[in-house]
Structure formats: C-alpha cells, structure tokens
Amino acid sequence: MKLKFALLLLTLCSAAWAQSSAGYIFFAPGGATSYGHTSGTIQAGVGGEGILGKGIGVGADIGVWAPSQYLSGVIGVFSPNVSYHFIHEKRRKIDPYVTGGYTLFFRHGTENLFNFGVGTNYWFARRVGLRVEFRDQVYAQGGTAHFWGVRLGVAFR
C-alpha cells in the first residue's frame, strides 16, 4: 500500500512541476545473471516520468519480476529514477535517453538494488509511442547479480 501511494505521489508531483510528462506500460523478457550463469526472466509494469527542463527527468515505475520457469516466484519491483533525454524538442519523433536510480525488490522481505538503463521512445502519434529500453537492476551485496531485461512497451503523453 505504501509503495502504491509513493508511486502515485511521485507521478503527480512530477507531472505538476514538469515541462512535459509521459506514462508507460511495459513487458520485458530478460535474464538473471550471477556467477556466470543466466536464467530466463520476465518483467512487467507501469510507470511515469516528468521532464523538469534541459532533458533532466524524474520518475518511477512499479511492476513484477519472475523467473520464466517458475512464475509463482513473482516479486514486486519499485524503481524511482532520474533520466537524461538527449533531444529536448517535444515535436521530435525520436526521444533517446539514459536512466538510473534505486530499485526495491519486495515480497516477504525487501532487497535494495540500483539500476541503470538506456532506451528510446518513438512517438508515432502525437500522444502515443513505442518505448524500447534495456534496464539492468544490480544486486551488489555479498556478490553481484544482474536482473536485466529488454523492456518493450507503449508510452503515452
């Protein structure tokens, strides 16, 4: 409940102060890589972002992550992030960006991670676009594990 409220609050504040804002939904096939072994995963979620000016953005997303062979092992994922958008013109169709921030995995307990990614929005209509992003969520406590995915989704503004 607290995470849903935090996401809603962050999204509303971002939209209020931002020069422009966008929401998105995504599905991400990917993997979990640790000690040289990778197993398949899937992710899905929703998020939002506000551009504060000069390409700097703040946002958050919330979703789920699961091993592709064991879907009952699903965990929650919450990620507040900052981003930089390389093209600052709203009328452009291509919107490449980099992003990074904090990730919280939660189920019966919680784990703290950090994340980074690179992607682009392709605005094929005034308010609807295709979002493609590579995101890596890194666990670096007592060993390193990467929970990465290629996010494919719909962006809207």
Q: Which residues contact 32 (CB under 8 A, 6 or more apart)?
A: 38, 39, 41, 67, 145, 146, 147, 148
Two structure tokens written together for 134: 């590579």
Topology at the third CATH level for domain 2-156: Porin (2.40.160)
- In this predicted structure, the answer to whether residue 17 has a pLDDT above a threshold of 70 is no
Q: How confident is the model at residue 20 (pLDDT cuts 50, 70, 90)?
A: confident
* 15 or 63, greater pLDDT: 63
| Identity of the amino acid at 136 | D
Tell me, what's the pLDDT at 88? 74
Indicate the burial class of 143 (C-beta count within 10 angstroms; 0-12, 13-18, 19 or more).
exposed
Tokens found for residue 9: 């609050």
Q: What is the mean pLDDT of residues 41-45?
A: 98
Residue 114 pLDDT: 98
Mean pLDDT of the chain: 90
Q: What is the pTM of this model?
A: 0.85
The domain segmentation of the chain, as residue ranges, is: 2-156
Query: Residue 50's pLDDT is what?
Result: 94
Backbone angles phi, psi at 86, to 5 degrees: -75, -30
Quick: pLDDT tens for 66-124: 999 988 899 999 999 999 999 877 788 999 999 999 999 999 999 999 999 999 999 99
Mean pLDDT along residues 147-156: 98
What is the 8-class DSSP label of residue 139?
Answer: E
Q: Give one DSSP letter per residue of 9-76, joined into a string.
A: HHHHHHHHH-SEEEEEEEEEEEEEEETTEEEEEEEEEEEEEEEEETTEEEEEEEEEEEETT-GGG-EE
Tokens of residue 153, six digits: 């989704």
Taking residues 42-48, what's their average pLDDT? Answer: 98
